[in-house]
Amino acid sequence: MSLPSSIVRLTGGFSVETQWAQYAAWLPLAADQISAVDGAAFGRRGVMAQNLRLSKDYGEATRAYREWSQRNWAQVNDQRSASDDRKRFYNQEMLGSTKAYANPYDSSTPVDLPQTYKYYWVNRQGTYVGSNDPSVNLNTGSTDEWKQMPLVRP
C-alpha cells in the first residue's frame, strides 16, 4: 500500500508568535515530511550558482585564515626568539659579572667589561678606563681623544 503524495512548493512557513501554539504541534512534523525529489525542485541553476558562490567564499575565507595564521605564528616565533635573546644577554652579564658597552670607535661588536665601574671610557687605541664618578672627563689634560662608552641593552 502506498501513501498518496502531493507536489507542493513551500518557500517558508511562518507564524505570528501569538498563534504559534496552534502550529507548534504539527508544523515541525511537516518539515520532516518534506523532501526534494531532484535538483530542479529548488531551481537547478539557482542551486548551482549558490554552491559555486559558497565554494568561492569558503576558499577565500580559508586562504585569508591561512595567511593570518602564518603571520600570527611568525610573530609568536619572533617574540619568543627576542625573549630568549634577552634572557641569554642578561644571564651572560649576571654569570660573568660584566656589562656590555658600545665602543664609539667600533660599534660592530659590544665590549664586555667588569661591573667594577659605572662609567667606561675608550680611546682610539682601544684602551679602556673605568670610573665611578660621572663628572670625570679624560680629555682634560690628555693628548688622546677619549669617548665615554654607552651601555648596550637588547
pTM of the model: 0.48
Give the DSSP per-residue string, the chain: ----------------GGGHHHHTTTHHHHHHH---SSGGGG-HHHHHHHHHHHHHHHHHHHHHHHHHHHHHHHHHHHHHHHHHHHHHHHHHHHHHTEEEEEETTEEEEEEEEETT-SEEEEETT--EEEES-TT--TTTT-SS-EEEEPBP--
Query: Is the model's pLDDT at 121 over the cut of 80?
Result: yes
**What is the chain's alpha carbon radius of gyration, rounded to the nearest angstrom?**
39
Query: Where is the domain boundary, 60, 76, 92?
Result: 92
Confidence of residue 107 (pLDDT cuts 50, 70, 90): confident
Quote the pLDDT of residue 89: 85
Listed residue (37, 114, 76) closest to 149, CA to CA: 114
User: How many domains, the chain?
Assistant: 2
Q: Is residue 65 part of a domain?
A: yes
Which of 138 and 42 is assigned the larger pLDDT?
A: 138
Q: Is residue 121 part of a domain?
A: yes
pLDDT at position 117 is 92
Question: Does residue 116 form part of some domain?
Answer: yes
Residue 31, domain member (yes or no):
no
Closest CA to 11 of 28, 45, 29, 34: 34
- Tell me which residue range forms the domain holding 143: 97-149
Percent of all residues in the chain with a pLDDT value above 90, rounded to a whole number: 34
Query: For 57-67, what is the mean pLDDT?
Result: 94
Per-residue pLDDT at 85 exceeds 60: yes
pLDDT digits (tens, 9 = 90+) for 11-24: 666 667 788 788 77
Q: Mark whether 101 and 140 lie in a shared domain.
A: yes
